Structure 1
Amino acid sequence: MSSIHLPVRIEFGLDSSITIGSEFRSLKCSKVMVVSDKGVINAGLLDKILKSLADAKVESVLYDNVVPDPDVKCVEQARDFYISERCDGILAVGGGSSIDTAKAAGALITNSEPIVSMGGMGKVKNPLPPLIAIPTTCGTGSEVTNVTVVTDEYHFKVPIISPYLIPKVAVLDPNLLTSLPPSLVAATGMDALTHAIEALTNKLENWYADMCAIKAIEMIGKAIRPAAAGGNVKALSEMLYASTLAGISFTLSRLGLVHAMSHPISGFAGVPHGVANAILLPYVMSFNLVGNPEGYALVAKALGIVGRSGVLETAKAGVEEVIGLNHQLGIPKSFKDVGVKENLFPQMITDTFKSGNVAINPRRVSEKDVEIIYQASFAGDSPLLFIE
């Protein structure tokens, strides 16, 4: 059985973020905690947003201690700040870390359990305060998802899954992406591509998720190169919208082995999530191809691959296209290039199998399989090694 439940309202378009004051007015909020990070603030992206709140007579206070891959301390500090300032709503402005921090803080505000105790599905018992999300990257899709991720004291990235974590409103304003450096457009864009590919090819079936995933892959395949080149607002718009579509797809259909393996890499080695996904993606696609060749052929066709004879050849061409994308976008070739140490592999392998995404991966996975993929992606071996 499949289920489609999308309580979020999506507003999109150039300068759509400057309507945020009226959005919170309609939610009957009078004082909002704005959750963001130093990069967003220094780029001046909050200026018009804060003015919109002020013009609507909505008071705002800023929590800007967001850290990459937010940990328990970060989200508890945000909760305490919200309570001490007597806020009645939350606005997240930023990438996945800011939106995840806002979601987790919101869960702590209305629920008494420790945040790590809410790990897994359906353990957030009470609705969050009114939450609106404005993404400033084109990767996580967190503005529409039912997930937040918090890093615990053992470096494990704890996924928390609940419909209560879906923001009330997602505001997609491409103008907020124009100051992103090319490397961040590339990494977050490949994160979005990974979301769509895994949602489309895993064992779960959801026709709506598949439709969103295929469209997201098509859009990313066309737009990611010009978007990463800089100065192309149309391409950045396409990437932002594709990221949201990919977020919808994996909210409905979940993910797969790339995410099961990339979370430990970020948790233990501090590799940015999008970079970890991008490096792993062609290796896992190659490994998984025999488990769902038809699904990976759909991926290839969505990426523009035509004229190949047979399902397997088309699917393999899709893997080659992703390898080429990584190269063109300047994604590091191997985990050795980004400072991962081989002595971390045993811990990372253990944590990989804590993820529920392993069970829905299109091909059955053993610890040895994960070790081989980690070793190959560490050394920078050909990602086609499983299908050559």
Structure 2
Amino acid sequence: MKENFDFLMPSVNFFGPGVIEKIGDRAKMLNMKKVLIVTDSFLEKVENGPVHQTLDSLNKAGVDYVVFNGVEPNPKVRNIEAAKKLYLDNNCDSIITVGGGSAHDCGKGTGIILSNGDDITSLAGIETLENPLPPLMAVNTTAGTASELTRHCVITNEETHLKFVVVSWRNVPLVSFNDPKLMLDVPKGLTAATGMDTFVQAIEPYVSENRNDITDGQCLQAIRLVEESLREAVANGHNLEARTKMVEAEMLGGMAFNNADLGYVHAMAHQLGGQYDAPHGVCCAILLPIVERFNIIACPDRFADLAVAMGENIDGLSTREAAEVAIDAMQQMNDDVGIPRSIKEIGANPKDFELMAENALKDGNAFSNPRKSSKEEIVQLFQEAYDAM
């Protein structure tokens, strides 16, 4: 295992149709000699899909690689441990992730335990990493988590069913590639789930305690882009313009929450994902209108702004009435793209709510939520999401 990981470069984000062709050249520029490709078995099998195109670009550049295809949804500790073993067994010196958030988080997690110790669960929290990760690039295939350009690494402890976050600037990939052509064949259910994650990741930073003028602009533009394009991307996945706008929205949202952080929607969604292995974007989407209605009293003017960004007419309404319009618009987006209304539909069980509420308040995303709550209030929010019709 090479220990010389202690160099830093500004993150470079390539965006647009065809940028996947730049992977090999960029790998050579970073002096990658033997790359661990981190992906899942489905993507690896897709003929001329993202994995094959990545490997073709590396082959043309003369960069050697080995493929780890064991990424699971809501990546587990066992996934990063298996990837680490393959990395060491093959004398790799760098990592390229290919996929959506699960692949990127798995690759980050692998890098973390390569350079910061075997027990990643002990590193949960904010800026706990002392050592740089191996050189890391990310090839993104969904307009969703923005993990390809953020400092968040989300891993599930399969023994405790607890989803935890390692937040560090050291996790940011050196280079990311967002090619909307790679997303044209993403199924509509996955398009909806990942697209709603993008939507949530633009809304939560806008009402976060850590917001600023720069992140505000990023959030509002991301929300406008989602409003313009998510329904179309779900209805017609081969609409390249809609896919491109969703990538733009995802990247803007990622940049925003990289700096302004998130809130209770993500803190609670992580508990649902860890406990029931449920899709992250679906968990976030179901919780969004329920949690944000709870948050209104902390910053009603902000929610009125969101209503305008979502294209709603608030003329003649009070600030509180306009804020309620924003919540209704969030639910309408869920309904339009086929998100279920209740967490009952993803296997939630009320007997788990107390423990999940306790863990949600410990989640790194909870601290920037605009309204502070008790465990009992979080339990009630889970119950509302369960009883929703």
TM-score range, shorter chain: over 0.9
Matched, 1:36 2:39: yes
2:296 pairs with one of 285, 289, 302:
289
1:46-61 matches, cutoff 5 A: 46-61=51-66
Contact 2:44–2:51 under 8 Å retained in 1:
yes
Deviations 1:5-47, CA, capped at 9 Å, x for gaps: 9931111111111210001000011111111112222333222
Q: CA separation in 2, counterparts of 1:215 and 1:52?
A: 33
1:214 pairs with one of 210, 220, 234:
220
Contact 2:165–2:364 under 8 Å retained in 1:
no
Q: How many residues in Structure 1 have an aligned counterpart in Structure 2?
A: 377
Contact 1:91–1:133 under 8 Å retained in 2:
yes
Contact 2:307–2:314 under 8 Å retained in 1:
no
| Residue matched to 2:5 | none
1:19 pairs with one of 5, 19, 22:
22
Contact 2:126–2:168 under 8 Å retained in 1:
yes
Contact 1:183–1:228 under 8 Å retained in 2:
yes
Q: Alpha-carbon deviation of 1:204?
A: 1.3
Contact 2:156–2:163 under 8 Å retained in 1:
yes
| Residue matched to 2:232 | 226
Matched, 1:356 2:388: no
| Residue matched to 1:280 | 287
Matched, 1:8 2:11: yes
SS at match of 2:134: coil
Matched, 1:298 2:305: yes
Contact 1:335–1:377 under 8 Å retained in 2:
yes
Match for 1:342: what amino acid? Answer: P
1:1-388 matches, cutoff 5 A: 7-43=10-46, 44-152=49-157, 153-229=159-235, 230-308=237-315, 309-381=317-389
Q: Alpha-carbon deviation of 1:170?
A: 0.9
Match for 2:183: what amino acid? Answer: L
Contact 1:358–1:365 under 8 Å retained in 2:
no
- Deviates most, 244-253 or 365-374: 365-374
Q: Alpha-carbon deviation of 1:125?
A: 1.0
Runs of 4+ in 1 over 6 A off after TM superposition: none
Normalised to the residue count of structure 2, the TM-score between the two structures is 0.94
Contact 1:40–1:94 under 8 Å retained in 2:
yes
Q: Alpha-carbon deviation of 1:248?
A: 0.9
Contact 1:7–1:166 under 8 Å retained in 2:
no
Q: Alpha-carbon deviation of 1:287?
A: 0.8
Structure 1 stretches lacking a partner, 5+ long:
382-388
Q: CA separation in 2, counterparts of 1:318 and 1:7?
A: 37
Normalised to the residue count of structure 1, the TM-score between the two structures is 0.94
Structure 2 stretches lacking a partner, 5+ long:
1-7
| Residue matched to 2:4 | none
Match for 1:233: what amino acid? Answer: L
Deviations 1:280-324, CA, capped at 9 Å, x for gaps: 000011111111111111211111112432322221111111111
Q: CA separation in 1, counterparts of 2:10 and 2:306?
A: 28
SS at match of 1:143: helix
SS at match of 2:97: strand
Contact 2:261–2:365 under 8 Å retained in 1:
yes
SS at match of 1:117: helix
SS at match of 1:282: helix
SS at match of 2:154: strand
Deviations 1:122-160, CA, capped at 9 Å, x for gaps: 211111111111111111000110110111221111110
What root-mean-square deviation, in Å, do the aligned CA atoms of Structure 1 and Structure 2 show?
1.5
Contact 2:132–2:170 under 8 Å retained in 1:
yes
Q: CA separation in 1, counterparts of 2:345 and 2:326?
A: 24
